[in-house]
Chains A and B, each alone.
Chain A
Amino acid sequence: MAALLGCEPKELVFTSGGTEADNLAILGSVQANGSPHKHVITTAIEHPAVLNPCRELERTGMDVTYVRPASDGLIDPDDIRRALKPETMLVSVMHANNETGTLQPIAEISALAHEAGALMHSDGVQAAGKIPVDVEALGVDLYSISGHKFYAPKGIGALYVKNGTKLRPIQFGGKHERERRPGTENVPSAVAMEKAAAFARDTLPIETARLEALRDRLETGILARVPDSGVNGAGERTPNTTNIYFDGLEGEALVISLDLKGFAVSSGSACSSGAVEPSHVLLAMGLAPERARASLRFSLGASNNAEQVDALIDAVVQSAAQLRKLSPTYTSA
């Protein structure tokens, strides 16, 4: 596990998953290092597991700045620099975005945060196991990961806590995990996550190249054959994710149409009923609401191959054409 992140074993705290790791990082560091430091910086494109603890902090009187990305999905370190104040105690910026795959300039932002005397957290749930991660090179104090994102079972994750970082537990009980996370350890899942981490370490270079090639094949195929489509986000990305807009149709309908053909893709974020709300990430990137609603996230994994990607391209071409035929707003350019 530690080798996957380039840290020492004692710097890892096992949690029930990414959400708990994010909550522990944000709430636990603020409670250990709070007053008079009353300011936290995060971004508008974080996962709800970061955004909602931040909103919770706001309810308790903390000042939170939500930095917006540029239209390519990248957070500009200069925007972080401008948001930093003497009372800033924590900066939390995700390593890889879950909807676009965009990689954020974490090392640069960490340096800025530390210069200003703030702690640096990064939600690495979408990065760990998919790209090489070295917490030391990233310069982070806290880094969250989730086991099931690299084929461990669901229900296990971890928080990297750099040696010397003050962190208060957010649940109270026994003295497990160096008094940072009480509760009997989930040993089977921790062992499974270790195995998954070893698998990820061993296969990473080959798998990264393979997934990148598949992702590019998927993007090229779709963009070549579906008019008025394009990729949301730019710059360096995780190899397994792409986010594509299809102007003039409802992403939700395209998701259903593809699901019925056997392809599991997603659009926006599911609300508690399972209905889809337009992606807050794409909206924060400045996409028009219509285009945000017309966007789909495609994720590839270890079990996918080129034949499946080609079948998916065919399915997207067919479904998009059928939906656009019925769309009152779409007229081909």
Chain B
Amino acid sequence: MSGGVDSSVVAGLLQRRGQRIVGLTMQLWNQRRLPELVPEGGATGRCCSLDDVYDARHVAQHLGIPYYVVNFESGFEEQVVKPFIDDYLAGRTPIPCTLCNNFIKFDQFLDLASGVGASRIATGHYARIGFDDASGRYQMSRGADHSKDQTYFLFGLKQEQLARTDFPLGGYTKPQVRELARELGLPVAAKPDSQEICFVPNGDYAAFIDAYFRERGIAPEKTQGEIRDTNGRVLGEHTGVHHFTVGQRRGLRVAAGEPLYVIATEPASQRVIVGRDEDLLRAKLSAKDMNWISIAPGTVTAGAPIRAQVKIRNRHLAAEATVYPIGNNDATRIEIHFDEPQRAVTPGQAAVLYDGELVLGGGWIE
């Protein structure tokens, strides 16, 4: 329970169905840290803020269910925050929500839930889980509300995790969920949605990384370097590769006769390569650490490539592609050939494969 509308409605729905439930909130990040990032008037609307915990507790009291806050701060820092920073410094653009889902929410948290006697966990994600008798696999499909669909962040879920997870909101739209919140009399029914990465205020991840380094006494001196064009011409300097992501246009501070975009960041040389919009187009990509969900890992073979719609970032419109395995290892690495070249293929983001509503699987863009 985050204290938001979605997870609160989940609790209310399950209770209405007569389930015995326990409310849990994960304390993931100490919001007292990095005080320089807290805006005037205090941090509000951020996950794990005290107000959110109080909201969640208020909802639990309203429903009359047991409620606890559990501390996952150290796991979150090791398995989400540090990899998040390392990715940026290595020229990748990470997805912390996916790391949190893979290593905290559906792993350590699921273990804790089992430990205290819960047979299943339920979250407020907009996604659906079903069991396919023919293949004997748990399958995942997009939330009914496509504008809220969160399957892009859930591609890492394994069969044994899906077997113990419920997404009760998968079949609802957000307006329906708000209506349910009112119907259930939940005190958070009118609370605004939260959008940003929970531990990064105002979406300014570069400021977060700088502040984290200051707190830890680390000097990120090695991250400064040159901005070059695709012909190797030096156009200017930058204060750290972690300030840039592929496809970015703002904040380059170089003069040019035409709009320039980040094409790539090269962590070894600390170079940021910029170019024109069309330089961002790519017809194919490779992805590693594939997790296959709705189809068995062995389904995709060299002799039998599959067709899929592929999302390369959360807000991307899934694009038609053909998917080939790389090597003979149950397609843990794949190559994706798009029918039409796609803009801003970004290392560190995920490539998530769909067949209509069905989530086939996903992996990390190399």
Q: Which residues of A contact B (CB under 8 A)?
A: 249-250, 252-253, 256-257, 259-260, 271-277, 322-323, 326-328
Contacts and interface: CB of A to CB of B under 8 A. Distances in A.
A307 to B, nearest CB: 23
A138 B111 CA distance: 49
B117 interface: yes
Interface string B43-73: 0000010100100010000000010111101
Nearest to B22: A260
A259 B66 CA distance: 9
A65 B143 CA distance: 58
A276 B111 contact: no
Interface residues of B, number: 19
B111 A326 contact: yes
B53 A274 contact: yes
A259 B68 CA distance: 10
B136 interface: no
A256 B116 CA distance: 6
Contacts, number: 54
B27 A322 contact: no
A276 B117 CA distance: 20
Interface of B: 22, 25, 27, 48, 50, 53, 57, 66, 68-71, 73, 111-112, 114-117
Contacts of A323: 115-116
Interface of B is mostly: mixed
A326 B53 contact: no
A224 to B, nearest CB: 23
A326 B22 contact: no
A260 B50 contact: no
B115 A322 contact: yes
B68 A257 contact: no
A253 B115 contact: yes
Contact of A253 (B57, B66, B112): B112
B117 A260 contact: yes
A257 B114 CA distance: 10
Contacts of B70: 252-253, 256, 275-276
A273 B114 contact: no
A276 B116 contact: no
B66 A260 contact: yes
A322 B163 CA distance: 20
Given A260-B22, A274-B53, A274-B57, A253 B116 contact: yes
